[in-house]
Chain A
Amino acid sequence: MRKIYDLTAPFCLEGDEVKIPKPKSAEISLELIGHDLLLSGTKLLKYLSNSIKFEVHLGTHMDLPTTFAYQTVDPVNIPVDFFIREALIIHVERDYSKKSLTLDEVKDKIDLEEFTELPKERRPALLFKTGMSKLWCHDNQRYMSFPGLSKSLIEFIAYELEPPFIGIDAISIDRTIEHRSLSLYTNIDEEFINILRTQEYTMLLGHDILLRKNIYILENLDMRDIPSDISKGLLVALPLFRFTTLTEKPILITALPCRVIFLPEPRDSISELIKKLRTLEKELSGIMS
Chain B
Amino acid sequence: MPSLFSKWGKHVFRYFKALGSPVRFLIIYKMLDGKPYTKNEILNYVSSISGAPRTTVDRHFRTLLKYNIIKTAGKSLSSERGRKPLLYVLAVDSMMFYVSLLTYLLEGAIDKRLKLIEEGLSDVEALTEVVDEVKLKLYFAEDKISSEVSINLSRELDSCISLLFLVREVLRPKAVVTDCENAVKLLGRISTNQMILKKISLDKMRELLYVAYVESSISIKELGSMLGVKHLTRFKEYDDFWMEIESSYSNDLTTFLKSLASNTKCTDIESSYVISLTNNLIKYFLSSFRNHDLIPLFLTF
Contact = CB atoms under 8 A, between A and B. Distances in A.
Interface stretch (A101-109, A130-138, A217-225, A264-272): A264-272
A88 to B, nearest CB: 15
Given A276-B157, A280-B161, A283-B165, A234 B121 contact: no
B154 A269 contact: yes
B95 interface: no
Nearest to A86: B135
B32 interface: no
A86 B135 CA distance: 10
Interface string B128-145: 100110111011101101
Interface string A258-289: 00000101110110111011111101111110
A281 B121 CA distance: 14
B25 to A, nearest CB: 12
A1 B143 contact: yes
A5 to B, nearest CB: 13
B164 to A, nearest CB: 4
B164 A277 contact: no
Contacts of A278: 135
B110 interface: no
B151 interface: yes
Contact of A284 (B127, B140, B145, B158): B127
A288 B165 CA distance: 12
B168 interface: yes
A283 B150 contact: no
A2 interface: yes
A283 B164 contact: yes
B149 to A, nearest CB: 9
B147 interface: yes
Nearest to B126: A284
Nearest to A276: B157
B21 to A, nearest CB: 16
Contacts of B147: 269
Interface in B149-196: 150-151, 153-154, 157-158, 160-161, 164-165, 167-168, 171-172
Contacts of A272: 150, 154
B131 A284 contact: yes
Contacts of B139: 233-234, 263, 265-266, 274
Interface string B43-87: 000000000000000000000000000000000000000000000
A281 B142 CA distance: 20
Nearest to A269: B150
Interface in A193-240: 233-234
A232 to B, nearest CB: 11
B125 A263 contact: no
B163 to A, nearest CB: 9
Contacts of B150: 269-270, 272-273
B139 to A, nearest CB: 5
Contacts of B168: 283, 286-287
Contacts of B121: 287-288
Given A269-B147, A286-B168, A280 B140 contact: no
A263 B131 contact: no
A2 B134 CA distance: 18
B223 interface: no
B143 A285 contact: no
A287 B167 contact: yes
Contacts of A266: 138-139, 142
B288 to A, nearest CB: 27
Most buried by A among B127, B131, B158: B131
A272 B155 CA distance: 11
B171 A287 contact: yes
Given A273-B150, A273-B154, A276-B154, 12 more contacts: A86-B135, A122-B128, A266-B138, A266-B139, A269-B151, A270-B150, A276-B161, A280-B157, A281-B135, A283-B161, A283-B168, A288-B124
12 contacts: A234-B139, A269-B150, A269-B154, A270-B145, A273-B138, A274-B139, A277-B131, A279-B161, A280-B160, A283-B165, A287-B124, A287-B171
By Cβ-Cβ distance, the 7 closest A-B pairs, closest first, are: A266-B142, A276-B157, A269-B150, A283-B164, A287-B168, A284-B128, A234-B139
Interface of B: 121, 124-125, 127-128, 131-132, 134-136, 138-140, 142-143, 145, 147, 150-151, 153-154, 157-158, 160-161, 164-165, 167-168, 171-172
Interface of A: 1-2, 84, 86, 122, 233-234, 263, 265-267, 269-270, 272-274, 276-281, 283-288
